[in-house]
Structure 1
């Protein structure tokens, strides 16, 4: 008996209204029909894995694509980091601007001291703040220290005339933040006030040892200290000598 010819198997039909699944054969057929597809969409090559291995060797094409992918990922990370830094600087600028305006509007030394301490603690979220002025004649407002005592205790921090940051020594922390608080301060930034007849220091501290590293940017703190040096003499006997 001869075999009867078999009828071709029926292909499964798609459910009405559904999107047919796109299989590998359909993709391959489409690419064969459109050989210039990747020439017109070459950006897709960076996202594809195209092996060109012969034994243990790797072709230059695959190596090039691998390097391009890695460089693309690295550039995205760098761009994301730069955007984060820019946003942080924008926030710092806005907080600094508000503080400077408050200092310019202050009508007393008490208002100046309160504006600085409140802004740094509330706006900038700094847990430890210290504003110290150096003079032989103290006033009832703020903290005043004898100039000789200040030079003897923290003279090393003031010698360069620039803002410094990092980990300070125990006696420096005690002078700046007090005996009790110095136990909690793990890193600090210190900006000298030195404008004509006025001398002092503005210090901020953190419980995080890495928060104020030696390489941290201190532009905004230095700017605040410079403004203080010009505002405070309006309310003290330490008039700038010209």
Structure 2
């Protein structure tokens, strides 16, 4: 039932006209001449015909759709590239024959193959006298806890702007050049460790960003590194 007040001049109300047009979408097909007579105020203040306004709306929607499709294609291309580079990295890690080689391979590929990753490190927390090598960085669990204990507390990936002492521990002499960083705890065998990646761009790694890629790489390291380590950590 129409709740609109009846018109004193006997003409239908706006509500009634709108309902009629909705129920008869082909009305203007039989009355095309009205399309050029109806005027609609454009947002610029200029009055245009209904037909012109419809064309403009369709053009705007078409442009929006094209932008969305273009964005989807760009994302698909980036994902394809990320997949190929991830595959290359994983195959290289699998082929490593020593823990030091795996560490070097991991850091080298992360920096050279992935966009906006300028520095990378792999650090294991264990007794340096029992585990380690010329280029495999191993620090005591106590030192790691003192330096980056806050970052390891949740045993989850961390992304964002880190403190100076945390960056120094993770990336050494490169700390002053880092704008943002991300790290992922790892546990190869029965020891702990961390993978760190960093960018010169302060806006690249944010706390809101996804960490699926980091978790994926960490899982690969957790599976491949133990077999390369000597002593009780096999």
Q: Does the TM-score normalized on the shorter chain lie above 0.5?
A: yes
SS of the residue 1:75 aligns to: helix
Please tell me whether the aligned partners of residues 198 and 229 of structure 1 are also in contact (alpha carbons under 8 angstroms). no
2:199 is aligned with 1:213: no
Please tell me whether the aligned partners of residues 165 and 216 of structure 1 are also in contact (alpha carbons under 8 angstroms). yes
Question: How many residues get paired?
Answer: 191
C-alpha RMSD of the superposition: 2.5
**Taking structure 1 as reference, are residues 51 and 134 closer, same or farther at Cα in structure 2, changes over 3 Å only?**
farther
The residue number in structure 1 matching 2:22 is none
Distance 1:74 1:238 in 2: 60
The residue number in structure 2 matching 1:31 is none
Q: TM-score, normalised by structure 1?
A: 0.70
**Taking structure 1 as reference, are residues 62 and 198 closer, same or farther at Cα in structure 2, changes over 3 Å only?**
farther
Distance 2:82 2:40 in 1: 56
- Give runs of aligned pairs for residues 142-161 of structure 1, distance below 5 A: 142-161=136-155
Please tell me whether the aligned partners of residues 173 and 182 of structure 1 are also in contact (alpha carbons under 8 angstroms). yes
Please tell me whether the aligned partners of residues 197 and 238 of structure 1 are also in contact (alpha carbons under 8 angstroms). no
SS of the residue 1:84 aligns to: helix
1:175 equivalent among 161, 164, 169:
169
Structure 1: unaligned runs, 5 residues or longer? 1-38, 40-49
- Give runs of aligned pairs for residues 1-242 of structure 1, distance below 5 A: 53=39, 57-58=47-48, 60-124=50-114, 126-136=117-127, 137-141=130-134, 142-178=136-172, 180-236=173-229, 237=231, 239=233
Q: Deviations over 1:136-161 (max 9, x none)?
A: 24322411111122123222222333
Larger radius of gyration: 1
